[in-house]
Structure 1
Amino acid sequence: MRINSKVIQASCLTVALTLSSAAQAALNVFACEPEYAALVHELAPEANIYSATTAMQDPHQVQARPSLIAKMRQADLVVCAGADLEVGWLPMLQMKSANAKVRSTDQGLFFAADHIETLDRLESVDRSMGDVHAKGNPHLHFDPERLLKVAEALHLKLVQLEPDSKTQYDAALADFSARWQAATLKWQALAAPLKGQKVIAYHSSFRYLFNWLGIEQVGDLEPKPGLAPTTAHLAELQHRAQQGDVMAIIVASYQDERGAHWLGERATLPVQVLPMSVGGNEDSDDLFSLYQSVITLLLSYSQP
């Protein structure tokens, strides 16, 4: 029997192209929040990265939309804050997507909070306490040292999923780590005047930022975590503000500003909206510019 050499060549070419395509296929990453989409981009710039939320959305409250289910179905890796921040919607996405690869942290599921010591852990919680997290405050991305530890852990996860790309992942982590540590020293020097300043804020969204910079949150616009400001509670905060030592009222980019402005007008205090994550304002298009933007905005209200 004669074998057509052209057919063989065509078949070999098809197989080669298929194998090449498979080898070059980028990792599909589903990030629960934009700060983790940005972190993945630093560590795996060739990955296909999708962020389920924006800085203008409350990450506690997300609808399990068909588009999110479809993206999770395609994911090789899911990266989230953890500490139960996404407990109201992530399990539903996992169930409906039927993607076994991203159901366990042993495989393609990664929680940032699992790799650092969170602030404000609680031994037990009940409904009377409001919307609190027993595993600690999940908004950890505003602590540069903790975020670097998360980056190191995420690097190991990437290597676990794609061991053949270890060299590239090692190089990306080394580059990010060097730039991040240099930037952290610069930010610490820049933010020195903020140490000891006092603010009133909405929720504990910036708990890690304030802890890092030495800012004291002396009041919360929420009567209890997760509850909207009430007139009675705002009146109490107005009384506290009369001491004259509060720098500003701080609100995150996705939070309702009405209570803050009510208090600001009566207490003669400035209201500052800070980007909660990458994309929260026009000056925060990556993690580096996010930190720079937040510190710059806070410094504009710094008191001597």
Structure 2
Amino acid sequence: MVRINISIIISSLIAASFGVQAAVSVFACEPEWASLTKAIGGTHVRVVSATHARQNPHYIRARPSLIAAIRRAELLVCSGASLEAGWLPVLLKRASSELQPGGVGYLMATDHVAVLETPTTVDRSMGDVHPEGNPHVHLNPNNLIQIGRRIKEQLQKIDPDNKAVYAKRYADFERQWAVAIQRWTVQAAPLRGQTVIVHHKSLSYLLDWLGINTLASLEPVPGLPPTASHLNTVLKDSSRQPVLAILRTPYDPSDASEWMASKTRIPSVVVPYTVGGSDQSTDLKALFNHTIELLLMHGS
């Protein structure tokens, strides 16, 4: 007869329960920050992403499930620079004090890297311009080293028992990422100096890093749909120089890009933009691998 030791079973269940609770609960606003946090935290973090690759991160609804997730969170990792201004403040009203600005669990990526396209003045005629600058900082891979370091530091403060684990995982990430950046830089060298058209300025950090010029945006001003008159202006401008591609993200409308492609024979290319933006872009490294491959397919 098998004798069951109830005290051992109870002890095991309690230990398992504490093991689950030990994981730091992280609320990431976008998939890139969820992926980066997992790379640094491993099994010691439990991450929820508020958005996916086919959602425009400017415009989502503060759903009850997101409210529940942020109430449980110990660390908040978002882009900042007003990218989430339409919905994050609503969620933060239900979050703990640690997740408020200045709290140990509050991390905005744009606070920790150099930001592009910061306007000197802002008014309504400029469209949806971010006063703090362009928030899409994850598309320069060098920025992810700095932001990853900050995530490591925040996790160490929140979970000091695993401080050494986070230090080791970040050191591994930094070393492997530096090697990948060097490889991508060499691989993408033929793209330097080429010119593209974009739908919206979501790709500015990628293009700046790769040395690719932007002829025009299909949006007349950020956030406003393309107009016939503006598209005709871009059409004329595109006839004056070679253009590599017309670029958009998975969440941008396709009609303006496809119209421009049909008129110019310039290829229309969907750039993954973030983790999950294509079948191949399963993590941050795969995101940059696939993005550069797509651009090189159309390079001269």
- Tell me which interval the TM-score lies in, with the shorter structure as reference length: over 0.9
Q: Distance in 2 between matches of 1:44 and 1:196?
A: 38
Residue identity opposite 2:206 in structure 1: L
1:1-304 equivalence runs, <5 A? 18=14, 21-22=17-18, 25-46=22-43, 47-95=45-93, 97-303=94-300
- The equivalent of 1:4 in structure 2 is none
SS in 2 for 1:207: helix
Q: Provide the aligned C-alpha RMSD in A.
A: 1.7
- The equivalent of 2:3 in structure 1 is none
Which moved further from structure 2: 212-221 or 100-109?
Answer: 100-109
1:235-262, CA deviations, whole angstroms, 9 ceiling, x for partnerless residues? 0111011114111100111100100111
**1:145 Cα shift?**
1.2
Say if 1:254 and 1:276, in contact at 8 Å, map to a contact too.
Answer: no
**1:106 Cα shift?**
2.4
Computing the radius of gyration over CA atoms, which structure comes out larger, 1 or 2?
1
1:213-250, CA deviations, whole angstroms, 9 ceiling, x for partnerless residues? 00001110000000000111110111011114111100
Aligned length: 293
Q: Distance in 2 between matches of 1:123 and 1:22?
A: 51
Q: Distance in 2 between matches of 1:199 and 1:156?
A: 38
Identity of aligned residues (%): 41
SS in 1 for 2:77: strand
**1:83 Cα shift?**
0.9
Say if 2:247 and 2:270, in contact at 8 Å, map to a contact too.
Answer: yes
Say if 2:139 and 2:273, in contact at 8 Å, map to a contact too.
Answer: no
Residue identity opposite 2:78 in structure 1: C
Which moved further from structure 2: 47-56 or 104-113?
Answer: 104-113
Q: Distance in 2 between matches of 1:157 and 1:268?
A: 48
Q: Distance in 2 between matches of 1:156 and 1:121?
A: 27
Residue identity opposite 1:170 in structure 2: A
TM-score under structure 2 normalisation? 0.93
1:119-147, CA deviations, whole angstroms, 9 ceiling, x for partnerless residues? 11123311111101111111010111111
Say if 2:215 and 2:238, in contact at 8 Å, map to a contact too.
Answer: no
TM-score under structure 1 normalisation? 0.92
Q: Which runs of 5+ in 2 are unaligned?
A: 1-5
Q: Which runs of 5+ in 1 are unaligned?
A: 1-8
Q: Distance in 2 between matches of 1:13 and 1:278?
A: 41
**1:117 Cα shift?**
1.2
**1:21 Cα shift?**
3.8
Q: Distance in 1 between matches of 2:95 and 2:270?
A: 39
Residue identity opposite 2:198 in structure 1: A
